[in-house]
Amino acid sequence: MTFKIEFLEKLVDQASSGNIRAIGRLLSILETYDEEAGRLLEILARKSRGAHVIGVTGIPGAGKSTLISRMTTVLRRRGYKVGIIAIDPSSPFSQGALMGDRLRMQEHATDPGVFIRSLSTQGLKGGLSLAALAIIEAFDALGYDKIIVETVGVGQAEVDIMHAAHTIVVVTMPGAGDDIQALKAGVMEIGDIYVVNKSDIPGASKTEEYLNFVIETGEIGSSRKGWRPKVIRTSAVMGQGIEDLINAIEEHYDFLKKISAIEEKITSRRILAIRLLAERILRNALLKAVETKRTELEKVARDAGGLLEEAERLAERTCKEIEEKT
Ligand SMILES: Nc1nc2c(ncn2[C@@H]2O[C@H](COP(=O)(O)OP(=O)(O)OP(=O)(O)O)[C@@H](O)[C@H]2O)c(=O)[nH]1
Ligand SMILES: [Mg+2]
């Protein structure tokens, strides 16, 4: 199915005026279609307002979704529109899955200033990273001030997505000793803010001390010049520490503004989007080239000689395929 550019522009206009159905439709196109998604991305990127992208990651079951719901309440009270992207809530780590997240964030379901989108790896033709980046771009263009992305923090796509965030919040909980060791890997080691959630259960001080210690030794924490990662204690169920957390997030945003790093992040997320789109173009052309050269490939395969040469020729043919198309 293909859409005309006029249709896409109209859809963006409708979505911009707050039409919930139009927003849903627009996000579906971004998730599902190839070329349309690329076109839409262009239209959206031009309308960017420089929204603050907040990545929330951390230990499975630490209370990320519950916390995001509470954070959203505070952000709404402060007058911000909030877009939420929950990545792969059906991952093997997640018990709650999609339904659970809906429930946890239900209090915002009727608020037109909040839009929640769940993305799972399944059924995403263009891949998770690109879909998530596109939705960030959409929320940005549609006037959402704060875009919160929840991931479990494992897998390349999720690392990609977290790198597109201005502020990275890593959520832990008391007694997660061994799990905290796991924070020293991947995106969790570059947190700007570390949260000890579930501080209503025993052991929060110890976890907090430990986090402060590993931040002090430089084992974890954002490497951005001049920012010392903060440790915040919260209880998402009791609604405690949420204001402190939002204050810390705002402080980090102000810090980024001061060192002129906001645009830099937007630029690098777009470079990533371009790379991912290019990968898709290459892949499609490659598959086509394989079909075109089927007979030759079969011959080489039977003789089992010149495999590398054939691969090189195939790559050349792929590039030609693209050239002919553009
Ligand atoms: N005691 C206590 N329980 C909490 C708190 N926050 C969340 N929980 C509970 O912890 C469980 C997991 O919460 P979620 O918000 O789904 O956690 P999550 O990190 O999003 O989980 P995944 O997405 O599956 O990794 C739920 O049963 C919550 O009710 C808290 O502050 N204190
Ligand atoms: Mg969750």
Structure tokens, 82: 């909030």
Decide if 30 contacts 131 (C-beta within 8 A).
yes
Assign 231 a pLDDT band (cuts: 50, 70, 90): very high
User: What is the architecture of the domain spanning 49-259?
Assistant: 3-Layer(aba) Sandwich (3.40)
Decide if 135 contacts 94 (C-beta within 8 A).
no
Phi-psi region of 87 (alpha: psi -120 to 50; beta: other; left: phi over 0): beta
Q: Is the CB of 114 under 6 A from ligand 1?
A: no
| Alpha helical stretches, state H, the chain | 5-16, 20-32, 35-46, 64-77, 97-104, 128-141, 156-163, 177-182, 204-216, 242-258, 262-292, 294-303, 307-325
Q: Is the CB of 237 under 6 A from ligand 1?
A: yes
Q: Is the CB of 62 under 6 A from ligand 1?
A: yes
Check residue 103 and give its pLDDT: 57
What is the average per-residue pLDDT within 256-282?
A: 91
Check residue 12 and give its pLDDT: 95
pTM of the model: 0.90
Q: Is the CB of 97 under 6 A from ligand 1?
A: no
pLDDT digits (tens, 9 = 90+) for 183-225: 777 777 889 999 999 999 999 999 999 899 989 888 888 776 7
Structure tokens, 184: 């020293």
Check residue 91 and give its pLDDT: 46
> Sheet holding 167-172: strands in order across?
114-119, 82-87, 146-150, 52-58, 167-172, 193-196, 230-233
Q: For ligand 1, pick from 56, 59, 65, 87 the residue to mutate: most ligand atoms within 8 Å of CB.
A: 65
Nearest atom in ligand 1 to the alpha carbon of residue 62 is 19
Q: Name the residue at shortest CA distance from atom 9 of ligand 1.
A: 63
Share above pLDDT 70 across residues of the chain, in percent, rounded to a whole number: 90
Domain with CATH 3.40.50.300 in the chain: 49-259
Determine how many CB atoms are found less than 10 A away from the CB of residue 151: 27
Nearest atom in ligand 1 to the alpha carbon of residue 238 is 31
Structure tokens, 71: 């954070």
Q: Is the CB of 64 under 6 A from ligand 1?
A: yes
Check residue 133 and give its pLDDT: 92
Nearest to 28 by CA among 102, 153, 147, 138: 138
pLDDT digits (tens, 9 = 90+) for 84-96: 999 876 544 444 4
pLDDT digits (tens, 9 = 90+) for 163-190: 889 999 999 999 866 667 777 777 778 8
Across 114-123, 127-136, 204-213, 239-248, the highest mean pLDDT is recorded for 239-248
Check residue 10 and give its pLDDT: 95
198 CA → ligand 1 middle, Å: 8
71 CA → ligand 1 middle, Å: 14
pLDDT digits (tens, 9 = 90+) for 297-320: 999 999 888 899 999 999 998 998
User: How far is residue 243's CA from residue 250's CA, in Å, rounded to a whole number?
Assistant: 10
**Exposed e or buried b per residue across 25-61, where buried means at least 16 C-beta atoms within 10 angstroms of its C-beta:** ebbebbbebeebbbbbbebbbeeeeebbbbbbbbbeb
What is the average per-residue pLDDT within 252-263?
A: 94
CA of 85, nearest ligand number: 2
Q: Is the CB of 162 under 6 A from ligand 1?
A: no
pLDDT digits (tens, 9 = 90+) for 124-148: 655 778 889 999 999 999 999 999 9
On average, the pLDDT of the chain sits at 87
Q: For ligand 1, pick from 59, 65, 66, 88 the residue to mutate: most ligand atoms within 8 Å of CB.
A: 66
Residue 155 CB-density burial (10 A; 0-12 exposed, 13-18 middle, 19+ buried):
middle
Check residue 113 and give its pLDDT: 93
Nearest to 153 by CA among 169, 166, 139, 140: 169
pLDDT digits (tens, 9 = 90+) for 15-70: 999 999 999 999 999 987 777 888 899 999 999 999 999 999 988 889 999 999 99
Angle ∠(319,323,324) on CA atoms, nearest 5: 120
254 CA → ligand 1 middle, Å: 29
Residue 240 CB-density burial (10 A; 0-12 exposed, 13-18 middle, 19+ buried):
middle
Assign 102 a pLDDT band (cuts: 50, 70, 90): low
